[in-house]
Amino acid sequence: MTDLNDEINLREELDKYLRYWPWFLIGIFSFIIIAFLYLRISVPVYDTVASIIIKNQEAKGGGLGAGAADFADLGLLGGMSTNSIENEIGLLKSRRMMINTVRALNLNVSYYDLDGLKTDEIYLQTPYFVEVIQLNTQSWVEAYEAETNQFTLKPNGNESLRLSFIGTGETLEVNTDELIELPFATILIKKNLDSNSKYPVLVTINPIENVADKYREKVEINVLEDNATLLELRLGSPVKQKAQDILDQLIFEYNKEAIEDKNEVAVNTARFINERLDIISGELDTVEVGLEEFKETNSLTNIEAESSLFIQSASDYRKREQELQTQLTIAQSVIGYLQEDGKTSLLPADIGLEGESVNVQIASYNGLVLQRNRILSGATEKNPTVTRLNAQIGQLRQTILGGLERTVSSLKIGLRDLKQQSRVIGSQIAQVPTKERQFRDISRQQEIKEALYIFLLQKREENSLSLAATSPKAKIVDSAYSLSIPLYPKPKIVLAAALLLGLGIPFLIIYIRRLLNNKIERREDLEKITKEIPIVGELPRVAKGDSDLVEENDRSVLAESFRILTTNLQYLLVNAKHEDKGYCLYTTSTVKGEGKTFTSINLAMTLANTGKKVVLIGADLRNPQLQRYDSDSKSMLGVSDYLVNDDHKLESLIHDSKFHPKLKLFLSGSIPPNPSELLRQSKFGRMIAELREQYDYVIVDTAPAMLVADTFLISKYADLILYVTRAGYTEKKLINFAVDAQNDGKLHDISFVINDVKTANFGYGNKYGYAYGQDQPNLWKRFKSSF
């Protein structure tokens, strides 16, 4: 059930707006036309894109270039190494960089085509180029304020041109390839050799700095990936080629400055290295000469090798000394053994004595002793052989002794010489540490100078290679290119916005109008305020020029609305039936101007058209309105005269109407000074009762209920009171007056009638075609009636 109610409410809300469909249609149509005109006259702006990679040169010098890397290796750039991508973006967007770009492309001069609905910039397709030789900024400001910084160039029929200032209209006849003095600048006009056209162009001259500031704001630079040096440059411009040239030139200027900076550092590095080489070369020569003199003075070639040789010699001397001492000791022992008593015992052999003769003699001696001892084993001392052998042994003994004594003497001499040489070597070894220290000091200086000299030579070669082969800092990934679809205006978005505005603005106007409207407009407005009082009819708005009276055999919407009203009245008057008497119907309203007289006379006409006898009474004695419909009856007597003078007969005051033979008029008559007192009389009730007997319907047009009490005084005589409200006129809060009047008993049997309802707000009759058989109004009339 809730869903059904929500659906019904949604439909009702939609119907409140859909009834104004002509306005939505006009809004959409109007904004679509505006959108097409906007797209036609607006200059499309295209997005131009370029992408570059900033080379990472952190290996040496932190991205400062090869020369800076050399300085970094020399320890001269500590703390200056950086390759922040934000710094590079800042450099690309710097004012100086953009000024160089504008100056290189001559962008301070713009050219426009004067033909067509819009002024298009023609850039390089201009038939003439203007070169600004000199610009006075202060004079340009004055020219800008006077709009004389803009001028047109038109062919003058020959080789000359006519220059016309936009602001003042002043004209000059000028020639190409000649200096022209303007109030704010000196210019030179040249023909475009790539263009054969000759048509008028608009030229605008601006300071380079102003143009650079404008493009600085337009150029966008974004990092495409985190932790990467890939940059995307974007620029929106109506001229694709111009935007492409700007981005390409900006990248070129960036690389150019980077190369210049790199070369400048490299040149300064080369100068520094050469200066240092000269100094180090001199210092190295001095050290090497000193080393040479030290070696000559000390008779050195290689102090370490000679020191080793000295030590080795000392060791050899000590070893030789020990050997000689051993030989001497052995020799002296053998001599002592030989000098003992004249024994002929064996001598020690192979005891380490040097010299073959001694060892041979000892061997021979021992051989003779052994021979003699062998013979003695079988003979005596006196044996001739033994005697001969003893003689030989004695002689050889003396020979060995003499040889050993000479050997001892020779060993002593040799031992003395070795000791002397050992002392010399020891002295030389003692001097080695001092010489070695002195040598090492000199060698260290020589090595340091030599290493630095070699390092500088290497860096000079590297710097020379870097200077000869300079690469751009920004590697171009994509040269500038323009997208084919405009950045703005985008036709689809513009048309979609036009469609939304065409729907939204009428919706907003209607919504605000409804929000601020405190008047009733349609049946639903009354139903929301009160359910106690029924609504018996809705009367349409009468178009200007149409008749506001229902005629006989009338098939208009107005006539059908009153027929519906009379039909609804029949159901309300069922319980009010009087035997052989007619019905008494009152028409009243809250304030004047709501159409109660209009309702009364047309209701009377509709009932008369059905064959009923009807009398229409003008009971608004203060402001009678029935006379508007019958101008001839303005001077006739009426209700007030009847109530004042008892001599007047009722039949004489009621006269025929010119509208219908069965419709009689009983006008209000003269305006009395005391209408309330007149209506309060019982005579008015007797008048109504008498008329009930003569007519089928007695319709009483009363005064507004809220303004005067007249209607309350006579309401008891009515069978039914038609309370007329007017759409777009009656305030909603006034409806409560009718509800309170019925609740308080001041009025009874009230039914609402809504008058002057617009076609868009009209109820069932017009919406579903109750004007059956009648020609439908044209679209323009229906459109006008919707508001």
- Tens digit of pLDDT for each residue in 182-232? 988 999 999 888 877 778 899 999 999 999 999 999 999 999 888 888 999
Length of the chain (residues): 787
Average of pLDDT values for 544-560?
84
Paired with 116 in beta bridges are none
**765 has a pLDDT exceeding 50:** no
Question: Rounded CA gap, 302 and 425, in Å?
Answer: 17
pLDDT for 352 equals: 58
Q: Which range among 370-379, 595-604, 631-640 has the greatest average pLDDT? A: 595-604
Question: Rounded CA gap, 650 and 670, in Å?
Answer: 15
Sequential DSSP letters for 169-223: --EEEEETTSEEE-SSEEEEEEE-TT------EEEEE--HHHHHHHHHHH-EEEE
Nearest Cα residue to 617 out of 695, 677, 673: 695
Neighbouring C-alpha atoms within 13 Å toward the C-beta of 755: 24
pLDDT for 513 equals: 84
Token pair recorded at residue 127? 């038939």
pLDDT for 468 equals: 63
Q: Which residue has the tokens 């111009």?
A: 242
Q: Which homologous superfamily is 523-785 in?
A: P-loop containing nucleotide triphosphate hydrolases (3.40.50.300)
Average of pLDDT values for 281-290?
76
**65 has a pLDDT exceeding 50:** no
Question: Rounded CA gap, 409 and 417, in Å?
Answer: 13
Contacts of 547 (CB under 8 A, 6+ apart): none
Residue 540 neighbours by CB distance under 10 Å: 24
Q: Which residue has the tokens 């009515």?
A: 718
Q: Which long-range contacts (CB under 8 A, 24 or more apart) does 307-311 make?
A: 307/429, 307/432, 307/436, 310/425, 310/428, 310/429, 310/432, 311/429
User: Contact 513/506 with Cβ under 8 angstroms?
Assistant: no
Eight-class DSSP state of 270: H
For residue 113, what is the enclosing H or E element?
A: strand 109-113
Q: How confident is the model at residue 754 (pLDDT cuts 50, 70, 90)?
A: very high
pLDDT for 584 equals: 93
Strand 150-155 relative to strand 201-205: parallel, antiparallel, unpaired? antiparallel
Token pair recorded at residue 84? 């922040």
This model's pTM is above 0.85: no
Average of pLDDT values for 39-49?
90
Eight-class DSSP state of 153: E
Question: Rounded CA gap, 285 and 601, in Å?
Answer: 136
For the beta sheet containing 655-656, the strands, ordered from the edge strand earlier in sequence to the opposite edge, are: 535-540, 750-757, 720-726, 583-589, 697-701, 614-618, 663-666, 655-656
For residue 697, what is the enclosing H or E element?
A: strand 697-701
Residue 272 neighbours by CB distance under 10 Å: 19
User: Contact 238/43 with Cβ under 8 angstroms?
Assistant: yes
Between 760 and 341, the higher pLDDT residue: 760
C-alpha angle 716-605-637 in degrees, rounded to nearest 5: 65
User: Contact 303/436 with Cβ under 8 angstroms?
Assistant: yes
Query: Would you say the C-alpha torsion 57, 63, 67, 73 has a positive or negative sign?
Result: negative
pLDDT for 601 equals: 92
Which of 230-244, 382-396, 638-652 is predicted least confidently?
A: 382-396
Residue 538 neighbours by CB distance under 10 Å: 24
Whole-angstrom CA distances from 766 to 19, 526, 541, 557, 605 are: 12, 19, 12, 7, 21
Please report, as a single letter, which amino acid is at residue 781.
Answer: K
Domain ranges of the chain: 2-42+489-516, 48-263, 303-468, 523-785
Token pair recorded at residue 468? 């000869």
Sequential DSSP letters for 556-596: SHHHHHHHHHHHHHHHHSGGG-BTTB-EEEEEEESSTTSSH
Between 299 and 136, the higher pLDDT residue: 136
- Indicate the average pLDDT of the chain: 81
- Per the omega criterion (within 30 degrees of 0), is the bond before 704 cis? no
Eight-class DSSP state of 715: G
User: Contact 721/588 with Cβ under 8 angstroms?
Assistant: yes
Please report, as a single letter, which amino acid is at residue 214.
Answer: K
User: Contact 389/375 with Cβ under 8 angstroms?
Assistant: yes
pLDDT for 501 equals: 94
pLDDT for 32 equals: 94
Between 772 and 238, the higher pLDDT residue: 238
Q: Which residue has the tokens 């009702």?
A: 12
pLDDT for 62 equals: 43
Q: Which residue has the tokens 């003497």?
A: 409
Contacts of 20 (CB under 8 A, 6+ apart): 506, 510, 760, 786, 787
Question: Rounded CA gap, 732 and 515, in Å?
Answer: 13
Distance of CA 515 to the CA centre of its chain: 39
Contacts of 721 (CB under 8 A, 6+ apart): 585, 586, 587, 588, 715, 747, 748, 749, 750, 751
pLDDT for 553 equals: 81
| Tens digits of residue pLDDT in 555-611 | 888 889 999 999 999 888 887 666 678 899 999 999 999 999 999 999 999 999 999
Sequential DSSP letters for 589-621: ESSTTSSHHHHHHHHHHHHHHTT--EEEEE---
Alpha helices (H) in 353-383, listed in sequence order: 356-376
What percent of the chain has pLDDT above 70?
80
Give first-to-last CA distance, the chain, whole Å. 35
Nearest Cα residue to 235 out of 92, 54, 111, 35: 92
Paired with 401 in beta bridges are none
Average of pLDDT values for 448-460?
78
Nearest Cα residue to 501 out of 121, 3, 34, 81: 34
Question: Rounded CA gap, 425 and 561, in Å?
Answer: 151
pLDDT for 575 equals: 74
Q: How confident is the model at residue 747 (pLDDT cuts 50, 70, 90)?
A: very high
